[in-house]
Structure 1
Amino acid sequence: MNKKTTFIDWGLVDYQEAWDRQEELFAQTVAIKNANRINNTEEPTPNFLIFTEHPHVYTLGKSGHEEYLLLDEAGLKEKEATFYKINRGGDITYHGPGQIVGYPILDLDNFFTDIHLYLRTLEEAIILTLADYGIAAGRYPGYTGVWLDADNEKARKICAMGVRASRWVTMHGFAFNVNADLGYFGHIVPCGIDDKDVTSMERELGRKLDINEVKDKLKHHIASLFAMELV
């Protein structure tokens, strides 16, 4: 099992470009797995942990509801936002500057073959990162992602998740609100949940965060939980 994982920060990248790059890395990994199976070989498969930010964009998962986007084409243009239907699980969500978007492209055969455990482990990394800043977070029963005050009427989401996996190779991932403009969530029904709020680290702490510092803490928590060797 190859636990070496290449960490890449793409910076601010257009959503379509990032999706294309993901698909390329994903396809390369699946191709190695297929060749190993056909040729009875053991060529190691690569793993990637990618962080990025996107210009304002709404994305809709394959099981999502387009009516949960509350803007028409003119509204999207006014907000300088784009909209994509994509091949991950989950419903509609927003990505934008000030949000850490994580795309782990992992061969889970190198770690553990359990999608539920994979999601819970990503959630745990976010929870531990928030704890580093004194923010108590957890899970909301029945939903993916990371929440604050999940056990009462003040429940609010700080990190959304939606993944795709084929042959145990993952893509897409999570969107973690650090300094994100939360106003953009007002134009969707986030993840199809219309009675819960969305929050950010900036809102909870009352100050802007050094996003690179948050990325560094999050990267190390992910590496530790997955027993990755970051390169």
Structure 2
Amino acid sequence: MNKRVQLQDLGLRDYKETWDFQEKLFKEIIGLKIKNRREDDKAATPNYLLLVEHPHVYTLGKSGDIDNLLVNESQLGEKGATFYKINRGGDITYHGPGQIVGYPILDLDNFFTDIHKYLRFLEEIVILTLADYGIEAERSKGETGVWLDVGTPFARKICAMGVRASRWVTMHGFALNVNADLGYFDMMIPCGIKGKAVTSLNVELGKKEVDMDEVKQKLLKHFSQLFEAEIIN
């Protein structure tokens, strides 16, 4: 098993361009797994973790409802935002500057073959990172992602999640609001869940801005520990 994970920090990158790159890596790993089944000399499958910020964009999962996007195409254009339907689970999600998006493209045969455990690990990485800032975050039963003040009228989501897996290879991932412009969330019903607010780390800390690189390093530390993985550049 190969527990090395190749980190690629893509900076600010167009959503479709990043999606295509994910698909390329995803298909290469699956292709190698299929080849390994036919050959005696098996090659180790690689693992990747992409970190990226996207320009303003709304994405709708395969089971999502387009009515959860509350604006039309011309209004999107006025806000400098784009829209894509994609092949992950989940409903509608917003990505934008000030948000750390993580796309682990892992062969879970290198770690554990359990999608439920995989999702819990992604949530735990974010929960532990927020705890480093003194913020108590948690899961919300029946809802993906990471939340604050679950079970109260003040419940709010700080991290969205949606994944796809095939032959135990993963893509898509998590989106943690760090310095996000929360006004863009008003243009949709986040993840199709009505009446739930959205927040960002800088808002919770009462700061104008949180150091994005510092948050990334904390996420990587917890990722490495939970997955017992070696992060390589």
Aligned to 1:29, what secondary structure does the other structure show? helix
Counterpart CA distance in 1 for 2:39 and 2:23 is: 24
Residues 65-214 of structure 1 correspond to what in structure 2 (within 5 A)?
65-207=65-207, 208-214=209-215
Q: Deviations over 1:10-30 (max 9, x none)?
A: 000000100010001001100
Counterpart CA distance in 2 for 1:154 and 1:37 is: 51
Q: Deviations over 1:103-144 (max 9, x none)?
A: 000000000111110000010000000000011100101111
Counterpart CA distance in 1 for 2:158 and 2:133 is: 14
Paired amino acid for 1:204: E
Aligned to 2:194, what secondary structure does the other structure show? coil
Paired amino acid for 1:200: S
Q: Please name the residue that 2:24 is paired with.
A: 24
Aligned length: 231
Matched, 1:36 2:56: no
Residue ranges of structure 2 left out of the alignment (5+ in a row): none
Counterpart CA distance in 2 for 1:101 and 1:180 is: 12
Instruction: Compute the displacement of 1:98 (Å).
Output: 0.2
Instruction: Compute the displacement of 1:152 (Å).
Output: 1.5
Counterpart CA distance in 2 for 1:66 and 1:41 is: 47
Counterpart CA distance in 2 for 1:219 and 1:229 is: 10
What's the % identity of the aligned pairs?
65
Instruction: Compute the displacement of 1:195 (Å).
Output: 1.0
Q: Deviations over 1:147-169 (max 9, x none)?
A: 00013221100000000000000
Aligned to 1:145, what secondary structure does the other structure show? strand
Residue ranges of structure 1 left out of the alignment (5+ in a row): none
Instruction: Compute the displacement of 1:188 (Å).
Output: 0.4
Counterpart CA distance in 1 for 2:218 and 2:180 is: 18
Q: Please name the residue that 2:216 is paired with.
A: 215
Instruction: Compute the displacement of 1:191 (Å).
Output: 0.3
For the aligned residue pairs, the C-alpha RMSD in angstroms reads: 0.7
Paired amino acid for 1:203: V
Counterpart CA distance in 1 for 2:40 and 2:187 is: 51
CA contact (8 A) 1:158 1:177 kept: yes
Counterpart CA distance in 2 for 1:188 and 1:112 is: 35
Paired amino acid for 1:130: L
State the TM-score, normalizing by the size of structure 1. 0.99
Q: Please name the residue that 1:229 is paired with.
A: 230
- The ranges of structure 1 where at least 4 consecutive aligned residues each deviate by more than 6 angstroms after the TM superposition are none
Aligned to 1:146, what secondary structure does the other structure show? strand
Q: Please name the residue that 2:61 is paired with.
A: 61
Instruction: Compute the displacement of 1:51 (Å).
Output: 0.4
Counterpart CA distance in 2 for 1:53 and 1:131 is: 22
Aligned to 1:139, what secondary structure does the other structure show? strand
Counterpart CA distance in 1 for 2:39 and 2:219 is: 38
Counterpart CA distance in 1 for 2:195 and 2:41 is: 51
CA contact (8 A) 1:35 1:41 kept: no
